[in-house]
Amino acid sequence: MTRTVVTGGTGRLGGALRPRLLDAGHEVRATSTSPPADGDVEWVTIDLRDGTGIADAVADADVVVHTASAPQGDSEAVDVEGTKRLLDAADDAGVSNFLYISIVGIDEIPFSYYEHKLAAERAIESSPVPSTILRATQFHSFVDGVLGTVSRLPVWPLPTKIRIQPVSVGEVADILVEHATPEPAGRLPDVGGPEVKTVGELATSYRRARGKRRPIVRLPIPGSVAGAFRAGKATCPDRAVGTVTWDAWLDEQYGPGESGATNPSATPS
Ligand SMILES: NC(=O)c1ccc[n+]([C@@H]2O[C@H](COP(=O)([O-])OP(=O)(O)OC[C@H]3O[C@@H](n4cnc5c(N)ncnc54)[C@H](OP(=O)(O)O)[C@@H]3O)[C@@H](O)[C@H]2O)c1
C-alpha cells in the first residue's frame, strides 16, 4: 500500500484528493495548520511557515502531494521557504515521488504569488527528491469564490476582459492520483478546462445561475499582470483536456438558473 501525504488536506484540491486516494487504495495522511478533530484519514498539524510538524508529517511516506499554499498570506514564507523545508524533510524520509500542483502561465505573469510558485517549482526541480509537477488552470470553485465575494456588491466591478480557462478540481485531482506512485514523472503536460472564457462571460453565467440581476461593469486594471491575464497567459487552449464546462459546473452546483435569464447580448465586452 502506498503511504501518501497530502499537504493542504483541507483545501479545495486537498479535499478532492483525500477520497480519491483512499479509493485508489492509498494509506492517506493529510496536513493542516488546524486539522479537523476526526475524519477518514490520519491528520497531522503542520505549519510550513515555521516548520512545525513537517518531519512527523512525512515520516515513512512513499509519496507527498504538496497542495498547501498561502495565496492570500505570506506566500514567500509558506510557498517558497515552506516548500524547501518540506523537500528537506522528504529527502530525509526517502520519499520516492514529490508531486507539486502549480499554475499555468506562472512564468509569464509577473504576479508575486506566481513568482513564488515558480520559485517553489525551481526548488523542487533542483532538489534530490524525485518529483512530478503539474500546472493547472483556475478551478471552478476558485472562480466561484471570487465571484461570490463580488456578488455581494450592488454593482459587480470586474476585469471583464481577462481570459481564463476554468477546470474541474476533481479532474485535476484524478491526474495527480494517477501519478501518486513511487515513479516520478517530472513536468507533466499542463491541464486546462474545456473552454477559455472572459471574466465577463463567466460572470454573466454566474449571475444567471444565482438568479441575480445586478449590473456587471468593466473595471479597467492597468499594468503588466492584468495585461498578461487579458492576453490569455493563464490559459492553455492546446491542453483543454478538462471536460466540465463552467455552465455545467454552475448547474451542478446551483441547479439550472432562472429560465430566460441567459442573454448573450448582455455579456459585457
Ligand atoms: N485555486 C485554483 O484555482 C488553483 C489552480 C491551479 C493550481 N492551484 C494550486 O493548487 C494548490 C491548492 O489550491 P487550493 O485552491 O486547493 O488551495 P486552498 O483551498 O486555499 O487550500 C490551501 C491549503 O493550504 C493550507 N495552508 C495554508 N497555509 C498553510 C501553512 N502555513 N502551513 C501549512 N498549510 C497551510 C491550508 O490549510 P489550513 O488552512 O487548514 O491550515 C489549505 O488546506 C495551490 O498550490 C495552488 O497554487 C490552485
What is the atom index within ligand 1 of the atom nearest the CA of 138? 3
Q: What is the pLDDT of residue 27?
A: 98
Query: Does a structural domain hold residue 75?
Result: yes
Facing residues of 42 across strands?
Answer: 29
Output the residue whose Cα is nearest ligand 1's atom 24.
68
- Could you tell me if the CB of 175 is within 6 A of ligand 1? no
Output the residue whose Cα is nearest ligand 1's atom 12.
67
Contact by Cβ (8 Å): 106, 137: no
Percentage of the chain with pLDDT > 90? 93
Query: Cα of 129 to ligand 1 centre, how many Å?
Result: 21
Query: Does a structural domain hold residue 121?
Result: yes
Q: What is the pLDDT of residue 267?
A: 40
To the nearest 5 percent, what fractions of the chain are helix, strand and coil? 40, 20, 45
Over its C-alpha atoms, the chain yields an Rg (Å, rounded) of: 19
Quote the cell numbers at residue 126. Answer: 533542483
Look-up: residue for cell 518529483? 131
Coil/strand/helix, residue 47? strand
CB atoms within 10 A of CB 3: 17
- Each residue's pLDDT tens digit, 162-197: 999 999 999 999 999 999 999 999 999 999 999 999
pTM of the model: 0.95
- Each residue's pLDDT tens digit, 51-87: 999 999 999 999 999 999 999 999 999 999 999 999 9
Q: What is the pLDDT of residue 257?
A: 61
Query: Does a structural domain hold residue 108?
Result: yes
Q: Which domain holds residue 99?
A: 3-137+169-187
Query: Does a structural domain hold residue 26?
Result: yes
Query: Does a structural domain hold residue 209?
Result: no
What is the atom index within ligand 1 of the atom nearest the CA of 113? 47
What is the atom index within ligand 1 of the atom nearest the CA of 48? 32
Output the residue whose Cα is nearest ligand 1's atom 18.
11
Query: Cα of 71 to ligand 1 centre, how many Å?
Result: 7
- Could you tell me if the CB of 33 is within 6 A of ligand 1? yes
Pocket test for ligand 1, best of 46, 67, 74, 202 (most atoms within 8 A of CB): 67
Q: What is the pLDDT of residue 198?
A: 98
Stated as kind and residue range, the H or E segment containing 55 is: helix 54-58
What is the atom index within ligand 1 of the atom nearest the CA of 35? 40
Coil/strand/helix, residue 94? coil
Cα 110 to the chain's mean position, in Å?
Answer: 18
Query: Does a structural domain hold residue 227?
Result: no
Q: What is the mean pLDDT of residues 226-233?
A: 98
- Could you tell me if the CB of 32 is within 6 A of ligand 1? yes
Query: Cα of 10 to ligand 1 centre, how many Å?
Result: 8
Facing residues of 102 across strands?
Answer: 135
- Could you tell me if the CB of 13 is within 6 A of ligand 1? yes
Predicted confidence (pLDDT) at residue 97 exceeds the cutoff of 80: yes
Q: What is the pLDDT of residue 38?
A: 83
Output the residue whose Cα is nearest ligand 1's atom 21.
11
- Please, what is the average pLDDT of the chain? 95
When pLDDT is cut at 50, 70 and 90, the band that residue 39 belongs to is: confident
- Could you tell me if the CB of 11 is within 6 A of ligand 1? yes
When pLDDT is cut at 50, 70 and 90, the band that residue 264 belongs to is: very low
Query: Does a structural domain hold residue 231?
Result: no
- Could you tell me if the CB of 168 is within 6 A of ligand 1? no
Q: What is the mean pLDDT of residues 87-108?
A: 98
Predicted confidence (pLDDT) at residue 261 exceeds the cutoff of 60: no
When pLDDT is cut at 50, 70 and 90, the band that residue 258 belongs to is: low
- Each residue's pLDDT tens digit, 104-144: 999 999 999 999 999 999 999 999 999 999 999 999 999 99
Contact by Cβ (8 Å): 32, 10: yes
Query: Does a structural domain hold residue 32?
Result: yes
Cβ neighbours of residue 30 under 8 Å, at least 6 residues apart?
A: 5, 6, 7, 9, 10, 14, 18, 39, 41, 42, 43, 44
Output the residue whose Cα is nearest ligand 1's atom 17.
11
Cβ neighbours of residue 212 under 8 Å, at least 6 residues apart?
A: 151
Counting the structural domains of the chain, the total is 1
Predicted confidence (pLDDT) at residue 269 exceeds the cutoff of 90: no
Of the two residues 257 and 88, the one the predictor is more confident about is 88
Q: What is the mean pLDDT of residues 227-249?
A: 98
Identify which of 143, 204, 131, 205 has the alpha carbon closest to the alpha carbon of residue 169: 143
CATH code at position 15: 3.40.50.720
